[in-house]
Amino acid sequence: MFYDGKILIGKSGGEDIYIYPKMANRHGLIAGATGTGKTVSLKVMAESFSDIGVPVFLADVKGDLSGMCQAGVEGGSALERVQKFNLFERGFNFKSFPSNYWDVYAEKGMPLRTTVSEMGPLLLARILELNDTQTDILTVIFKIADDEGLLLIDTKDLRAMLQFVSEHAKDYSRQYGNMSATSIAAIMRAVIALETEGGEVFVGEPALNIRDWIATDYNGKGMIQILDCQKLILHPKMYSTFLLWLMSELYETLPEVGDLDRPRMVFFFDEAHMLFNSASKALLEKIEQVVKLIRSKGVGIYFITQNPKDIPDGVLAQLGNKIQHALRAYTPADQKGLKAAASSFRENPEFDTLQTLQELGTGEALVSVLDEKGIPTIVKRTKILPPQSYMGMIDDGERQRQINSCTLFTKYQETYDRDSAYEFFQRLNIEQQEAFEAAALEAQRAKEEALAQKQAEKEELLRQKEEEKAAKEQARLEEKEAREQQREEERQARERAKLEEKYRKEQEKAQEKLLKEQQKAQEKALKEAQKEKERQERAVRNAIKGTASAATGTIGREVGKSLGSSFGSFGKTLGGNVGASLGRGIIGTLFAKK
C-alpha cells in the first residue's frame, strides 16, 4: 500500500519495510518456492504502484491475478494480518483497482497483437525454433522486405515473402548472399506449424500501441494491464518471446527521461525462467542490454521466479529490489542455489540468512531494497502485507463485463487486414497472369497469320522440294553407283594384297625350311667327320699301344729275368713274367682312353 510517500510492502518486527518510488525503476526480483507467497507480494506491489498513478503490466499465468478488479474480502488470515499491523489506521482498505484484460488468443481478454515486422527476425526465430543459419536467412528476408517497401504484418505476408524469395533466390543472391531453398523451406514449415498451433492470432492488426498502456483512470490510479497467459504458457517459447517483445517495444518506443520521482510504468514477468531458457547468445545479450538501459526510459521490470539462479548473472546484477521467499534444498544443486541466494544479500547480524531462508513461512520473505541513495539495505525478515484486491479468479461473466467496458475495447477487438506483402504478391501474380494471357492472345494471332503465310510458302516449297528430290535421287543413284564401283575396286585390291601376302609368307616359309634342312645336313656331316676322326685316332693309339706294349713287355721280361736270375731258374722265370706285366701296365696306363 502507498503510505507516507513510499510503497509499504511489509513489516519486520516493528519496522516498516518500504520501496522508494524513485528507486522502483531499478528493477527487482520476487523469488521463492511454490506456495510461499510470491503472488501476494506481486499483488501488493502492483496495487501500490497503481495507487501512486503508475501503470502496471501483469503476466497472469495461473489466472489468480484477475481479481484485481474486485475488492478483497474482509476475513480470514488477511484481516488478521491487517489488524496485527494496524493497517486500518494507516488508510488500508479492501478495494478494487482499474484493470484491463488481454489475451493473445482473444478468449479471456481483448486480443493482444503485434505485427511480424514489429516482432523482428530475432524474436520470431525464437518462436519458430530456427537454428542459427535459418535465423540469418530470416533476417535477410526482413531486410529484403524493408528494401522493397513490403509490409510484413501477419503470417500470410511472411509466407508470401518466403515463397517469392525462394523463387527468386538466384536474383537476390548477388546482393544478399546465397539462401538455400532447403533453409527457406524449413522456415516455411515452421511458420505453418505456428499457424496450426493458433500462433497466427497474435500477429496482425490492429497491433498494440504500447502508449495505450501508459494511462490512468479518472481517479488518477495507474491502469493495470493483465495478460491472461493460462493458454499461452502451454507454449513456453511463444510465452517468453511475447513478453520479451513487450519489453523491447517499451524500450524502443519510450523516450529517455532519466531518473523520475516514480516510474512511468512497471512490468511484472511471472515464470521469468522461461525468458532465458534456450535463448541464443545474441538474444541474451539483447535482454541484458534492454534491462540495463530501459531504466532510463522510466520503466521498472520485476522478474518472478522460483529460484534466483533462473536469472542470468548479467540480468540479476541489475535487480536492486529483492523479495526472497522461502527456498527448499533437496539436492546438492538446490543447496548450492540456496547458498548463492543467501550470499546475494547484505548480511544482517541479527540472524543467519542461509538458515532463515529455509525457515520462512508462507507470506514471509527476506527483503532488501534500494534506499534513497540507491544503496541496497541490510536484509530484513519481513511479513508481507495482504493484498487489498480480491485474491483469486473472477468468473467469466465479470471478466466479460470488464472487457466490454474498457475504453480500448473498440480499438482492438476487431481485426483488419490492410494492404501488405501478401496483397502485393497477389496483385503481382494477377498482373503477371494478365500479361501472360495478353501475350498468349497476341501469340495466337501472330501464329494464325504465320500459318497462312506458311501455307503459301509451303506449296511453293513443295514444288521446289519435288524438283530437289528428283535431283537428289539422281545424284543419290549416281553416288551409290560410284560408291559400289569404288567398293568393288577396293575389294579386288584387298584380294590381290591378300594373295601377294600369302605368296610372300609361303616363300618365307620355304626358305626357312630349306635353311633348316641345310643346317641339319651340315651338322650331321660335322658329326660324322668327328666320329671318323675319333675312330682313326683310336686305331692309331691302339696300334701304338700294341707295339709299345710288346716292346715294353719284352724289355720288362729281360730286366726281370736279369734281376731274378740270382735266385735260380725259378727266380729268373718269375722275374721275367713280372717285368713283362709291369711294362705292359705302364704302356696301358699311358694310352688309356680319355
Provide DSSP, 210-223: GGGGS-B-TTSPBP
Do the beta carbons of residue 224 and residue 99 sit within 8 Å?
Answer: yes
Domain count, the chain: 3
* pLDDT (tens digit per residue) in 150-185: 999 999 999 999 999 998 888 898 899 889 999 999
314 shares a domain with 325: yes
105 shares a domain with 93: yes
pLDDT for position 196: 85
391 shares a domain with 536: no
Which of 162-171, 217-226, 289-298, 578-587 has the largest mean confidence?
217-226
145 shares a domain with 83: no
Q: Classify residue 17 by burial, with Cβ atoms within 10 Å: 0-12, 13-18, 19+.
A: buried
Mean pLDDT in residue range 76-103? 90
Of 141, 173, 203, the one marking the end of a domain is 203
Question: Is the confidence at residue 27, as pLDDT, over 90?
Answer: yes
Lowest mean per-residue pLDDT among 160-164, 302-306, 321-325, 331-335: 331-335
C-alpha cell at 333: 544443486
Question: Is the confidence at residue 242, as pLDDT, over 90?
Answer: no
Question: Is the confidence at residue 348, as pLDDT, over 80?
Answer: yes
195 shares a domain with 252: no
C-alpha cell at 479: 553416288
Mean pLDDT in residue range 323-327? 94
Q: Give the structural domain span for 329.
A: 2-113+205-415
**Pairwise CA distance, residues 201 & 439, whole Å:** 41
Q: Classify residue 486 by burial, with Cβ atoms within 10 Å: 0-12, 13-18, 19+.
A: exposed
Mean pLDDT in residue range 132-152? 93
409 shares a domain with 301: yes
pLDDT for position 592: 63
* pLDDT (tens digit per residue) in 566-594: 766 766 777 777 777 876 777 677 666 55
Global pTM exceeds 0.85: no
Q: Can you point out the beta strands (E) in 337-496? A: 364-368, 380-384
Q: Determine the 3-state secondary structure of 179 from DSSP.
A: coil
C-alpha cell at 188: 516455411
C-alpha 187 chain-centroid distance? 12
439 shares a domain with 392: no
Which of 50-59, 448-457, 551-560 has the largest mean confidence?
50-59
**Pairwise CA distance, residues 158 & 138, whole Å:** 10
**Pairwise CA distance, residues 34 & 305, whole Å:** 9
**Locate cell 497503481: which residue?**
50
| pLDDT band of 75, cuts 50, 70, 90 | confident
Of 415, 440, 464, the one marking the end of a domain is 415
Of 415, 438, 472, the one marking the end of a domain is 415
Long-range contacts of 72-78 (CB under 8 A, 24+ apart): 72/386, 72/387, 72/388, 72/389, 72/390, 72/391, 73/390, 73/391, 77/363, 77/386, 78/386, 78/387, 78/391
Report the helix count and the strand count for the chain, using DSSP H and E. 17, 13
Which of 265-274, 281-290, 448-457, 462-471 has the largest mean confidence?
265-274
pLDDT for position 12: 92
Mean pLDDT in residue range 301-321? 92
Q: What is the DSSP letter of 318?
A: T
**Pairwise CA distance, residues 124 & 113, whole Å:** 14
152 shares a domain with 81: no
391 shares a domain with 333: yes
Share of the chain above pLDDT 70, in %: 96
Backbone angles phi, psi at 225, to 5 degrees: -95, 115
Question: Is the confidence at residue 463, as pLDDT, over 90?
Answer: no
**Pairwise CA distance, residues 334 & 327, whole Å:** 9
What are residue 226's DSSP bridge partners? 58, 101
- Residue 167 half-sphere exposure, CB side, CA atoms within 13 Å? 8
What are residue 7's DSSP bridge partners? 2, 19
586 shares a domain with 496: yes
**Pairwise CA distance, residues 539 & 556, whole Å:** 25
Q: What angle do CA 556, 544, 540 make, to 5 degrees?
A: 165
Question: Is the confidence at residue 375, as pLDDT, over 60?
Answer: yes
Do the beta carbons of residue 125 and residue 134 sit within 8 Å?
Answer: yes
Mean pLDDT in residue range 117-122? 91
Name the more confident of 143 and 554.
143
193 shares a domain with 215: no
227 shares a domain with 177: no
- Rg of the chain (C-alpha set): 59
pLDDT for position 460: 85
- What is the average pLDDT value for the chain, to the nearest integer? 88
Share of the chain above pLDDT 90, in %: 45
